[in-house]
């Protein structure tokens, strides 16, 4: 299956974007790992969870630009549906 998204190409711009995204994912993963280590987050696959959180952030920003959602409402829904389930307390 061919993917036309620039992000998946081999251009310099695509490689730059891939690197930036990986840096964001690393930061999110570090925060998750610290939360797991200190007992605030249930043990989980921090690499996968970092991608899920990044995806949510991206979709929220997309909705803000192109949809009729507010960031506040999106994060309230994320907290209710997702983050409270990770809370280890």
Q: Where are the domains of the chain?
A: 7-86
**What is the chain's mean pLDDT, rounded?**
83
Q: Which two tokens stand for residue 18?
A: 């891939």
Q: Are 32 and 50 in contact (CB under 8 A)?
A: yes
**Distance between CA 16 and CA 4 in Å, rounded?**
17
Q: Read off the pLDDT of residues 36-73 as tens digits, 9 standing for 90 and up.
A: 999 988 899 999 999 988 988 888 777 777 777 777 77
Prediction pTM value: 0.70
Indicate if the pLDDT at residue 89 is higher than 70: no
């Amino acid at each position: 299956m061919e993917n036309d998204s620039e992000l998946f190409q081999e251009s310099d711009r695509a490689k730059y974007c891939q690197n930036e995204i990986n840096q964001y994912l690393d930061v999110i993963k570090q925060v998750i790992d610290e939360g797991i280590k200190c007992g605030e987050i249930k043990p989980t696959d921090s690499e996968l969870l970092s991608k899920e959180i990044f995806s949510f952030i991206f979709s929220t920003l997309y909705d803000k630009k192109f949809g009729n959602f507010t960031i506040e409402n999106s994060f309230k829904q994320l907290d209710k549906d997702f983050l409270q389930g990770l809370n280890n307390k």
